[in-house]
Amino acid sequence: MHTSPRPSPRRTSLVLAGIATVVALAGCSSSDDAGDSGDLDASSAGVMASEPDAAGAADAEAPAAVAADADAGADGTAGSAKAAAAQQPAVIATGTVSLEAEDVARARMRVRAVVDAHQGTVGEQETTTGEKGELTTARLVLRVPSDRFDDAVTALEDVATPTGTTTNAQDVSAEVVDVDARIRAQRKSVARIEALLARAASIEQIVAIEAQLASRQADLDALESRQRWLADQTGMSTITVYVEQPATEQDAEEDTADGFLGGLAKGWDAFVDGLGAVLVVVGFLVPWLVLGAAVGVPAWLLVRRRPRGRTGAA
């Protein structure tokens, strides 16, 4: 009969020690996992608890964030202002043309013909007439497309004898780009304020948000008005035309008279005017003097005779 050998006591103790070590390590790892999961759950609960406060703070700071975004958008587009201005220049051109013509009415009609030829319009018109009813001066304010400004000025100088021409050009390209960028940023700001107004939960919030919305909408309206004005001024140029009759020799002498002769002439004119005024007064008094003499002289003679008759009778 065959019998198996019995294990030694030393080997058995080594096996038992290994098993105990494995069990201890498994217990430590499970306890560590439980602690870590507890910590994660606690941190998640803290985030969830603080989330409403964070949302309220975000809503409270939304107007300031909108303003910051608007300023950032304006600043971000300011860098490209010069490049855009160089590509598409926007210029406000104005001019003045002074003309002399014997027939002011005919010259005015020719000015209108020039405006029609250059697809412009007459914005304002002012005329004066002389003693005989003829036109002596005329002033016309013209609006012509900016790309035809120089041609229109040259054509107007050919209408009559030019006495003076001035032109002025102001480059507003940077301002046009800046206004466009501000309008885009302001529109985004208004849209965000409107979104906050839709989520308002109390009357105080509604009142505060509406105040911000009204202020930003007013700024947007002002910017849009400025944009329309710039578009009108850069698209159409303004030319003011003065037409008048040439000065006569007598008017030139009166204008150039100076010194002793000028003072003598002015004194003589004043004397003649004063003498004329005296004659007017005398002419006004003569009928009254004649009437007074016709009535007063007989009465005076009658009164003078009565005392003499009574003295003779006595």
Say which range, 81-90, 149-158, 229-238, has the weakest mean pLDDT.
Answer: 81-90
**Cβ neighbours of 281 (radius 10 Å):** 9
Q: In what order do the strands lie in the sheet with 135-145?
A: 121-129, 135-145, 236-244, 91-100, 161-171
Average pLDDT, the chain: 74
**pTM beyond cutoff 0.75:** no
Of all residues in the chain, the percent with pLDDT exceeding 70 is 65
C-alpha torsion sign, points 13, 17, 20, 26: negative
pLDDT over threshold 60, residue 260: yes
> Residues 100-141: pLDDT tens digits?
999 899 999 999 999 999 999 998 899 888 887 788 899 999
More confident residue, 279 or 48: 279
pLDDT over threshold 60, residue 183: yes
pLDDT over threshold 90, residue 241: yes
Tokens 């202002």 correspond to 81
Say which range, 96-110, 163-177, 213-227, 298-312, has the weakest mean pLDDT.
Answer: 298-312
Say which range, 77-86, 197-206, 214-223, 228-237, has the weakest mean pLDDT.
Answer: 77-86
Domain boundaries, the chain: 52-245
Residue 28: pLDDT band by 50, 70, 90 thresholds? very low
Interval 16-33 mean pLDDT: 47
Residue 167: pLDDT band by 50, 70, 90 thresholds? very high
Interval 141-152 mean pLDDT: 92
**Cβ neighbours of 10 (radius 10 Å):** 7
pLDDT value of position 222: 95
pLDDT value of position 5: 45
In 3D space, the residue among 187, 183, 151, 190 whose CA is nearest the CA of residue 167 turns out to be: 151
More confident residue, 176 or 72: 176
More confident residue, 149 or 4: 149
Q: What is the DSSP-derived secondary structure letter of residue 122? A: E
Radius of gyration of the chain (CA): 51
Q: Tokens representing 26? A: 């498994």
pLDDT over threshold 80, residue 295: no
Cβ proximity of 114 and 159 under 8 Å: yes
Residue 40: pLDDT band by 50, 70, 90 thresholds? very low
> Residues 74-97: pLDDT tens digits?
454 445 444 444 457 888 999 999
pLDDT value of position 256: 54
pLDDT value of position 247: 77
